[in-house]
Amino acid sequence: MKKKICIFGGTFNPPHIGHIRLAENAADKVGADKVIIIPDCIPPHKEASQLARAEERVEMCISSFCSDKRFEISTMEIERGSRSYTVETLRELKKQYPDDELYLIIGSDMLETFTQWFCWEEILSMSTLIAASRENGFEPKLDGFSDEQKKKVIFIETEPLELSSSEIRKGIYSGNEFDNSVSKEVFDFIRKRGLYLEGDERYDYLLNKMLDEKRIFHSRCVSEKAVELAEKYGEDAEKARIAGLLHDIMKNASAEEHFEYFSGMTAVEKANHKVWHQFSGEGFLCRNGIISDDEILNAVRWHTTGKADMTNLEKIVYVADFISADRDYPDVDEVRRLADISLEHAMLYTSRYTIQKLASADMVIHPATLDCYNDMLLVFGKQKG
């Protein structure tokens, strides 16, 4: 038997309640067996901060639409890697579903310019349009359509929804209340990663949301110290500033949150929860598209244990974490004095200090910490024997 398949494409940035109602009403109207939601592809060089990444838009579409079993998400346009013409997508779907009836869901304002679409007549030959009336009772004249073609347009009346994606994005951050313009899952998804916020606005939002006051103060102190060290040792001060600011972003996370971003723990790592946040912190920043710079990510990843062959930026964040203005452990002045001589002088001292402290408390030592210490000893040619 012929199946009825509705197709609904869009940027879905983010998918909102207007999209969901339109797709559901269209599917109900024709008695659809399947609804394929197709997030479009925006070429990467055009991706502005106001545009979520493709995988994020897909994930938000899944949580918005797929509780209804008729719905599925297709990444066919995203996989093409460039903007698609609707006709190309329809040709592909027609090949996949040669015997079924295809319905293309569009807004009524799009219908007015439909005859300017690339290969619009071919689109109509392959599918029936389901046009949503944005204003009640409004039906465009369909200029340029033949009588046969007019028969291939179905109007549905959906409750008019004045929702602009940019207003929705603003609304999501304007208060703590759940904003009904998107699904609860999408609302949480956006706020969890500070999506649609940019640069310092995003970092500050995440710090305030994820860390306690004392830890935020510490992060700002480390950031300041990292900038100072970067300037002294000829490194990128802006990268040092950001890495310092975000190095402890997962410090207050629950065990489940750590595990979400840090899998494949070794036995030693399992036994030392103090190192979890460096790995989960890097995972959180990277996977959520907050930081894409590998040097910053690695500086976060190794700021607690250290490791062998560290880059200068990694050393800077590691050392800044020991000597930031908020630190007051007994040896801090000595470490500050050594950091003034060289990063390596400070690191030899601090890695030894860490190892001694852990060993005297019968605590496991991460192999990367031992590597870091050995590396520094070799730098100074200090090893005996």
- Positions touching Fe ion (CB under 5 A) are 248, 321
- How far is the C-alpha of 296 from the C-alpha of 311, rounded, in Å? 11
For Fe ion, which is the closer residue by CB, 269 or 321? 321
Task: Please report, to the nearest 10 degrees, the dihedral formed by the alpha carbons of residues 307, 308, 312, 316 taken in order.
Answer: 30
- How far is the C-alpha of 64 from the C-alpha of 359, rounded, in Å? 51
> Which residue in this structure is represented by tokens 């860390």?
211
Smallest gap from residue 13 Cβ to Fe ion (A): 34
How many alpha carbons lie under 13 Å from residue 280 in its C-beta half-sphere?
24
Residue 90, both tokens: 């329809």
- How far is the C-alpha of 105 from the C-alpha of 103, rounded, in Å? 6
Smallest gap from residue 236 Cβ to Fe ion (A): 20
For Fe ion, which is the closer residue by CB, 238 or 326? 326
Smallest gap from residue 171 Cβ to Fe ion (A): 34
For Fe ion, which is the closer residue by CB, 108 or 304? 304
For Fe ion, which is the closer residue by CB, 314 or 321? 321
Smallest gap from residue 356 Cβ to Fe ion (A): 19
For Fe ion, which is the closer residue by CB, 26 or 250? 250
For Fe ion, which is the closer residue by CB, 22 or 210? 210
Smallest gap from residue 109 Cβ to Fe ion (A): 52
Q: Strand 101-107 to strand 71-73: parallel, antiparallel, or no bridges (unpaired)?
A: unpaired
Long-range contacts from 367-370, C-beta under 8 angstroms, 24+ separation: 367/268, 368/302, 368/305, 368/306, 368/307, 368/308, 369/305, 369/306
Smallest gap from residue 247 Cβ to Fe ion (A): 6
